[in-house]
């Protein structure tokens, strides 16, 4: 093992050490500590505040699962809003869709965006795309001020921690505002934290029940992300109840070619993989069925069902 | 974090520390070191040679995925053979099926079996079931000597390591012998090591191609198991090509009730979960399509595509 | 490395992992968690509340330095009082002195004493010595109630932590009481925490200045103890100012033979080693010269000059 | 704890993690990996091949003990040879002596020397001193080629590992050659590895016995160095048997002022500290008395008395 390590506490009593092969660069922004390293098990890796954000080994798993279900399920996604996503990979996936005319990304940390732009050549094309529009601002503020509606809103933020900076962006009030910014047929998707057999109760399920208090139809899905040491979760909310994640493999594969021009645009997700991503376990669905939390700006919902999630939910996407 | 830790190297550069809340007991058998501990993140845990075998938190995920697909896909499983499985959980799941008249389990380590019997009350009923027959022997020898055929063979063993004790039980020659011991419609399933986005190339795919050299139809599947720090894999092989893992949720749920008397026999697997377990990603299927390895008793197949798997594949089931 | 580890945070940012070869036994007493393990680097080791108390590899270094300077510098030590010392090693060293007629040991945790008696055969003789008298009680209470004076008082306790159970036993008030219980020529010695180039400011120096507020002559000394990952410290206080640690090697060696019958009673300490133990560095003596803290029962002295000591000073002797 | 760590295996089963607050710079030279970091417990730290070389917290302890005993015990040290020492701190201490007219330092790794020069401002003055002469070469070669004798030779090198690059510089043959390069009254001192209660048998004692086969008088001494997680050792060899480390505190303090102009030149070592550094324990002296190893260029002395030292002795000075 390398003699320099990165260490993460996934939950109390579960600590992981990753060998650091090389440190490419570090920067301390106004908001957070950013490291760009080569980890023995994962290759090139972006680390923010000591938590792995995305790795060469499997960032495509996370980003394909975040972006494409919402994009493919919308009949004609033209205008897309990304809250967070400073690394650029979310925008990169969005811009693979030929229908997109405008992709607005709003991240609060301009230095992270610049740092990623300088260090992640695979996202350079996205940053340079004329359809891409970047705001360094609060993701809520820019959405509120938007006058033209969006077809798809993608929330790629830190987990909601009681008192944390992102809590407000996971509340009923935020979702109501966001819903009002969606065009007809509009879809919102949000990353929703760890979603494995143990952790899914902590953040994934409460986000699901909160969205259900606002949108007429919501689906929760999850997928193992190796470098996150667990399954990860997302929630997708529809304004149009006729939309459904229950597509056949053939329907998904056909949509992919139609929308992106080629099946080879994706490494992880295709028609069959879609079935795996959308299916959740009996235990997961029992949890969702019982969950009644509705997070509110005025509320004091404690997100942490067990002490572990305090740490866990600090793992975040920009 | 507790001040006593269990440590595992998942692959080079990826080391995990688990807090030990309590050590219930330890024993050094002729074959291996066995510890029975309470781990902070996972609860009661069986550890063999320093590697987590099964935990209170999620052993049902592993064992339901190992046992029930083969059992449900067989039209009428009466006689079942388990290679390994000393912990007793595999037999416990098998014996939930009312059709079963005989469940033969062959594990080489009698002390582990006794240790688990004494320490895992949840498996006591299985060990006491009149349909259950235990042999402390080499799993290959007893199968070879069997004169009555089996409907389902379940291999729940250590990963195949070059020169390791279990290598022989993952070869073409073993699978040919095992196939000859299957009754018509017979099904063989084997645990197949780590199967996440990075590791699936190492053991899961070569086992798949080896089985395909012997059986007319083979399906590979996988599922995240939190305490294994990755997705885990299995391969299921059919003698009857009309059998298929492509069941609808409704078909699976109906079979579960018919075979086990109640839907509540399982915590993780049901009709919808089945869709997720059986669907693999585009990347996984590309690997399977390219894999041509056929492991042979005389062969010298190096299982380890990357140096990490040497450690990884030591994780094992009895 | 063993797959079971003991972990200690010596100070923030300095964490040590010790391989556990064997766990002999564990007990949770009313007061603390006790483990008796075989550690790869140190052999048989007593661990209390996760902190290494004494090891086969070097417990004699600690205990010889704690006990013999006070015993040898007293002209004729007959009655000895030990505060703490539940492990029995301190009493074992005291009882090597032929002059001793009574060795009273007072430890609050009877279960620890019993556990050590059962697990440390090397101290069995001491526990069985007719001169040895054990009280399971508060070390302050028994000393206060003593009517016959002592020649030597040896304090072998947890470090003084603000609000911790032992704080009271490191105060001016306690030392005044203890002084009143000393016969003419009486000597008090106390373990005084980590005393290396960095840590000696935290506990060792404040104990020194507190003792100086009560006794006419006090000497601070230290010695590396490998399994404590630092130098360790003691303070010795004299009622008779003509006593001095400044003995020649020859004087010490002669005293050892006179008092214990043989030079071979000790493994670490002899006349030359004495010179090393009593000499402190320029930096250490500058710290002592500047230290003015006097700890008081009513006081609120914060012991921790740096955040690290909070953890460090939890390392303790019974 | 910081989320970036440095990790060292001190011996098997003893692993330390240090929090990295900041990475100032890294370089991979032809010979070794060099990191310059800010460690939570030690401050600014030089790390070579993953092993801590010297830290802001206590480098003065190591370097004062290495340099000043030899310098002070020589009647008039004018010409000094340093083998290794690339960091510059050894030269810095040597040049504090007013008698010195020439300080020749020979280190094989020019990049390390440059890296340290650029990163350690506290040694800048030494590097710029007109009496200082730097050679980037093999330390043996330059000494062999020297025609003018030296008063003091200071060996500040990696530990002697079987087959390692520095082994030759710890042999009888090397010491014979070095002795021939000493002027009358000449003194040689060498760092001699870990020297605590457990490790002193491994390297410190064999170096002592090897030097004794060449020089008429040799003294071994040691001192705890906190960041080395143990006591460290040195051996000093005299050509003139009337020289002795047995100075009184007053003699040492007087010499310090005479030679360096002021007592304040040192932070750790003075007359009293000298007593501590030169005194070794009974156990240490028993080991020295029994040790008969004479390392030879043709020899195959296995340095490692226990498996741990393989790692330990890799800790090194340039």
pLDDT (tens digit per residue) in A175-228: 999 999 999 999 999 999 999 999 999 999 999 999 999 999 999 999 999 999
- Which residues of chain C lie closer than 8 angstroms to D283, CB-CB? 267-268
pLDDT (tens digit per residue) in A250-267? 999 999 999 999 989 999
Q: Is residue C213 part of a domain?
A: yes
Gap between the Cα atoms of C201 and A230, Å rounded? 44
In a domain, D317, yes or no: no
| Closest Cα in chain D, distance from residue A55 (Å) | 17
Q: Where are the alpha helices (DSSP H) in chain B?
A: 59-73, 89-94, 110-119, 124-128, 139-145, 172-180, 204-212, 249-260, 271-278, 282-290, 309-312
Q: Across the interface, do B282 and A268 touch by the CB < 8 Å criterion? A: yes
Q: Average pLDDT in the C129-135 region?
A: 98
Our count of domains for chain D comes to: 2
Domain annotation covers residue B35? yes
B213 touches chain A (CB under 8 A): no
The answer to whether residues D133 and D245 belong to one domain is: yes
For chain A, what percent of residues have pLDDT higher than 90?
83
- Report the CATH number at residue A20: 2.30.140.10
Per-residue confidence (pLDDT) for residue D301, from 0 to 100: 61
Q: What is the mean pLDDT of chain D?
A: 92
CB proximity C7 to B under 8 Å: yes
Percent of residues, chain C, with pLDDT higher than 70: 93
Spatial distance between the Cα atoms of B87 and B33, rounded to a whole number of angstroms: 14
Assess whether B176 and B285 both reside in one domain. yes
Positions of chain B with pLDDT under 70 = 1, 162-163, 299-318
Chain B contact present for C128, CB below 8 A: no
Q: How far is B285 from chain A (nearest CA, A)?
A: 9
* Structure confidence at residue C165 as a pLDDT band (50, 70, 90): confident
Task: Check whether A164 has a pLDDT greater than 80.
Answer: no
**B35 lies within 8 A of chain C by CB:** yes
Residues A262 and A190 in one domain: yes
Query: Residue C261: its pLDDT value, please?
Result: 94
A61 to chain D, any CB pair closer than 8 A? The answer is: no
Three state DSSP letters for chain D: CCCEEEEEEEECCEEEEEEEEEEEEEEECCCCEEEEEEECCCEEEEEECCEEEEECCCHHHHHHHHHHHHHHHCCCCCEEEEEECCCCHHHHHHCCCCCCCEEEEEECCHHHHHHHHHHCHHHHHHHHCCCEEEEECCHHHHHHHCCCCEEEEEEECECCCCCCCCHHHHCHHHHHHHHHCEEEEEEEEEEEEECCCCHHHCCHHHHHHHHHCCCCEEEEEEEEEHHHCEEEEEEEEECCCCCCCCCCHHHHHHHHHHHHCCHHHCCCCCHHHHHHHHCCCHHHHHHHHHCCCCCCCCCCCCCCCCCCHHHHCCCECC
C284 C-beta neighbours (distance < 10 Å), count: 26
Indicate which of A4, A40, A314 best probes the interface with D, i.e. most D CBs within 10 Å of its own CB.
A4
Per-residue pLDDT at A172 exceeds 80 = yes
pLDDT of C166 above 90? no
Same domain, B245 and B152: yes
CA separation for the pair B200, A226 (Å, rounded)? 11
Reported as a pLDDT band with limits 50, 70 and 90, residue D165 is confident
Tell me how far CA of residue B91 lies from CA of B45, B87, B140, B152, C218, in angstroms: 18, 9, 18, 12, 71
Task: Answer whether residue C318 is part of any domain.
Answer: no
Each residue of B196-243: pLDDT tens digit? 999 999 999 999 999 999 999 999 999 999 999 999 999 999 999 999
Name the band, by pLDDT with cuts 50, 70 and 90, for residue A303: low
- For residue C91, with 0-12 CB atoms within 10 Å meaning exposed, 13-18 middle and 19 or more buried, which class applies? buried
Q: Cβ separation of B40 and A275 shorter than 8 Å? A: no
What pLDDT does residue B297 have?
86
Assess whether D188 and D235 both reside in one domain. yes
* A161 and A22 co-located in one domain: no
Same domain, B257 and B290: yes
The model's pLDDT over D129-163, given as tens digits with 9 standing for 90+, comes to: 999 999 999 999 999 999 999 999 999 998 887 66
pLDDT grade for A297, boundaries at 50, 70 and 90:
confident
Task: Find, among B229, B238, B140, the residue nearest to B193 by Cα.
Answer: B229
Beta bridge partners, B83, equal B106, B155
Q: Is B3 helix (H, G, I), strand (E, B) or coil?
A: coil
Chain D environment of A51 (Cβ under 8 Å): 3
* Alpha carbon distance B266, B274 (integer Å): 12
In a domain, A317, yes or no: no
**What pLDDT, on the 0 to 100 scale, is given for residue A163?**
64
B4 touches chain C (CB under 8 A): yes
- Domain containing D19 equals 5-55
Asked if C47 lies within 8 A of B8 by C-beta distance, the reply is no
Rounded to a whole number of angstroms, the distance from the CA of A7 to the nearest CA of chain D is 5
Could you tell me if B7 lies within 8 Å of chain C, comparing CB atoms? yes
Q: Tell whether C50 and C65 lie within a shared domain.
A: no
Summarised one tens digit per residue, pLDDT across range D43-95 is: 999 999 889 999 999 999 999 999 999 999 999 999 999 999 999 999 999 99
Lowest mean pLDDT among A77-91, A290-304, B39-53, B105-119: A290-304
Q: Are residues D189 and D252 in the same domain?
A: yes
C118 plus C148 within the same structural domain? yes
What pLDDT was estimated at residue D183? 98
**B158 and B18, same structural domain?**
no
Nearest to C6 among B4, B8, B23 (CB): B4
Q: Judge if C224 and C97 occupy the same domain.
A: yes
pLDDT of residue A300: 60
* CATH number assigned to the domain comprising residue C251: 3.40.50.150
CA distance to partner chain B, nearest, from residue A13 (Å): 4
Residues of C in contact with B20 (CB under 8 A): 4
Rg of chain D, C-alpha, whole Å: 18
- Establish if A257 belongs to a structural domain: yes
Residue matched to tokens 């922004």 = A29
Could you tell me if residue B317 is inside a domain?
no
- D20 in any annotated domain: yes
| Residues of A in Cβ contact (< 8 Å) with D2 | 50
Q: Which residues of A are catalytic?
A: 156
């Amino acid at each position: 093992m390398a003699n320099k390590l990165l260490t993460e506490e996934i939950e109390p009593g579960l600590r992981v050490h990753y060998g650091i092969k090389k440190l490419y660069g570090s920067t301390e922004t106004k908001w957070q500590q950013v490291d760009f390293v080569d980890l023995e098990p994962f290759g090139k890796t972006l680390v923010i505040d000591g938590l792995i954000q995305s790795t060469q080994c499997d960032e495509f798993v996370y980003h394909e699962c975040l972006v494409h279900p919402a994009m493919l399920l919308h009949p004609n996604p033209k205008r897309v809003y990304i809250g967070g996503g400073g690394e650029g990979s979310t925008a990169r996936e969005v811009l693979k869709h030929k229908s997109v005319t405008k992709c607005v990304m709003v991240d609060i940390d301009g230095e992270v965006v610049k740092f990623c732009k300088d260090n992640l050549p695979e996202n350079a094309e996205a940053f340079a795309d004329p359809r891409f529009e970047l705001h360094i601002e609060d993701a809520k503020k820019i959405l509120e001020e938007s006058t033209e509606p969006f077809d798809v809103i993608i929330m790629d933020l830190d987990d909601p921690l009681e008192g944390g900076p992102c809590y407000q962006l996971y509340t009923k009030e935020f979702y109501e505002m966001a819903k009002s910014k969606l065009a007809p047929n509009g879809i919102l998707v949000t990353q929703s934290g760890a979603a494995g057999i143990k952790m899914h109760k902590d953040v994934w399920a409460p986000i699901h029940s909160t969205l259900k208090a606002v949108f007429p139809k919501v689906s929760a899905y999850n997928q193992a992300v190796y470098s996150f040491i667990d399954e990860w979760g997302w929630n997708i909310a529809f304004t149009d109840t006729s939309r459904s994640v229950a597509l056949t493999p053939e329907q998904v594969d056909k949509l992919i070619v139609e929308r992106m021009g080629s099946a080879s645009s994706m490494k992880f997700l295709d028609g069959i993989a879609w079935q795996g991503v959308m299916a959740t376990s009996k235990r997961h669905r029992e949890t969702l069925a019982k969950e009644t939390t509705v997070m509110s700006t005025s509320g004091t919902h404690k997100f942490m069902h067990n002490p572990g999630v305090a740490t866990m939910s600090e793992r975040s996407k920009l």
